[in-house]
Structure 1
Amino acid sequence: MTSSAEVFGGGTAVITGAGAGIGAGLARHAALALGMTVVLADVDQPALELTCAEITDGGGRAMPAVVDVRDAAAVQQLADRVAEELGPVHLLVNNAGVEQFGYLWDTPVANWERLVSINISGVFHGVRAFLPRMLAQTEPAWVLNLSSVGAVTAVPLQSPYIMSKHAVLALTECLHQEVALAGGGHIRVSAVLPGAVASRIFDAAGGVDNGDLTAAAGAREAMFQVRARAISPDEAAATIFQQAADGEFYIVTQPEVVLPAMRERGAQLSGRRPPAPARSSRFASKPTQ
């Protein structure tokens, strides 16, 4: 088995949503464990600076960039800046994402539009800005798009988020084929489907202003309980990089959780069964005894 350090070491990585959570874990691992030069992109400047300091204090190379992935022009400017200052990008990780709780019909329009523009359009903007240069270069390159175990499930009271992760998975599956069609044999495209990874995504998630506030609060609380059994961002990052180095398309952080969900999804579709009520516990690893 080829180590992730052998595959990625010394290259340049661009990671969106790198200020906290799994994005920060990926940035730390890329810089400190693999020796990559990491461009950290995030809209949260204080969080970005904190993660950047963790990397540089540990002897890693990091370049912070305050960027809102909803802004196509800003993402393009980042791609141009990276090309000018650092050269070819060897790894693009489209990770930025937000959550939303509550019944779909209670979801504020502004919350819906914000989530779609970050979780889906943000991935598109990253691909559109960086991939043309990656196709033109001769060095091997990787594109990792962060989906979720939610992409192979149907979960009530999280409809916008789950929908967005289904969309990212489909986008990535199509992109995989398009890159091959365009002659990008040196580029590997992968979909990352994590289970529960400790982060602040549930704290910062949108809720509802009207309608069933209790249901929205209950869904948030259920995910807090899942988070209590989640793996750390650094543990997730090590797994993601190793599976990427192994050439996996579907990268899963917790096989014991994600693979059964994938099998269940396949059986549901082939059997034409309506989705069964989801249990949020499926998102987390079983606690060790």
Structure 2
Amino acid sequence: MATQQEVFGHGLAVITGAGAGIGEGLARHLAGLGMTVVVADIDEAAARRVAGDLPAPGRGIPYAVDVRDGDAVAGLARWVRSELGPVRLLIANAGLQQFGHLWDTPVAGWQRVMEVNVNGVFHCARAFLPDMLVDPGRSHVLVMASIGSVVSMPMQSSYIVSKHAVLALAECLHQEIGLVGADVNVAAVLPGAVLSDIFSSAGGVEHGDVDAAERHRRDMFSVRERAISPAEAGETIVEQAAQGEFYIVTQPDMVLGAMRSRAEQLAERRSPAVFRSRFVPQNDE
């Protein structure tokens, strides 16, 4: 079985949303293995901070990009190709949260989540895959899904919808790569609870039940009590990617349990019950 060092100890990685959270954890771990990492983020200052602090023997290169802009992502791919060479690992990681009842969710908030979480992955695939398909040697694409890809949950409809779509995108892309016979390994990453600012930076609502949206935001901070660090998530994800797993999970008990529950619900045609997180305090407990 191949080791992380054998698979990811050299070459070039591009990570979107690498200025914080899981993206930063992945960048640090991959640089430590020896990869050159393009730290791509909409926040240029964050990209520069992370790129400038990556561990040897690898190195970091910052690049400011908004993954909602297909032309900008295509420009990133052209620049990487011209200046740095072939990409061995593409991680489409950038993602956003949104809280509130669906009927209170601002149109702009819904669109922003879809444009970043779903369209961002699509733009990355369109921009980078044509070259990766024909480059000699194996390359890898990791698509950042979520435990939210296999559950339904109130007050986060736009995020949950987007992550279900992202998982389906990764599954379809994996099959399409198989059809053309290219040496590109596609995987879907389903993290459980990982420390990040995704809840504090999440969109809320301006009209309707604002209090309910903010209560849910506060409740979700309980996830942090049992969350793993971005560094631990990065190492776990890269280890499973090196082993060729398609469904990559950071916390098997949590994520695989959610996957089994989802499969059983569909097979038994059960109506969705209100999701009860093991982390969030329940009013009746």
Compute the TM-score of the two structures, normalised by the length of structure 1. 0.95
Q: Aligned residue for 1:9?
A: 9
CA distance in 2, matches of 1:270, 1:74: 42
CA distance in 2, matches of 1:281, 1:224: 12
Cα displacement (A) at 1:5: 1.0
Q: Aligned residue for 1:194?
A: 191
**Structure 1 residue ranges, 4+ long, deviating more than 4 angstroms after superposition:** none
| Contact 1:15–1:27 (CA under 8 A) maintained in structure 2 | yes
Unaligned runs of 5+ in 1: 284-289
Q: Aligned residue for 2:41?
A: 42
| Contact 1:257–1:282 (CA under 8 A) maintained in structure 2 | no
Query: Once superposed, what is the RMSD of the aligned Cα atoms?
Result: 1.2
| Per-residue CA distance 1:115-164 (angstroms, 9 max, x = gap) | 11000000000000000000011111000000000100001000000110
Cα displacement (A) at 1:281: 2.5
Determine helix, strand or coil for the equivalent of 1:41: strand
| Residue among 134, 145, 148 paired with 1:147 | 145
Cα displacement (A) at 1:270: 0.4
| Residue among 245, 261, 269 paired with 2:258 | 261
Unaligned runs of 5+ in 2: 281-285
Q: Aligned residue for 2:283?
A: none
CA distance in 2, matches of 1:234, 1:109: 35
| Contact 1:43–1:68 (CA under 8 A) maintained in structure 2 | yes
Q: Aligned residue for 1:286?
A: none
Cα displacement (A) at 1:59: 5.2
Instruction: In structure 2, give the amino acid aligned to 1:42.
Output: D
CA distance in 2, matches of 1:88, 1:255: 33
Following superposition of structure 1 onto structure 2, how do residues 58-137 of structure 1 map, counting pairs within 5 Å?
58=56, 60-137=58-135
| Residue among 170, 175, 178 paired with 1:177 | 175
Identity, % of aligned positions = 59
Q: Aligned residue for 2:24?
A: 24
| Residue among 230, 239, 243 paired with 1:233 | 230
Instruction: In structure 2, give the amino acid aligned to 1:87.
Output: G
Determine helix, strand or coil for the equivalent of 1:216: helix
Number of residue pairs aligned between Structure 1 and Structure 2: 280
| Residue among 163, 179, 195 paired with 1:165 | 163
| Contact 1:223–1:280 (CA under 8 A) maintained in structure 2 | no
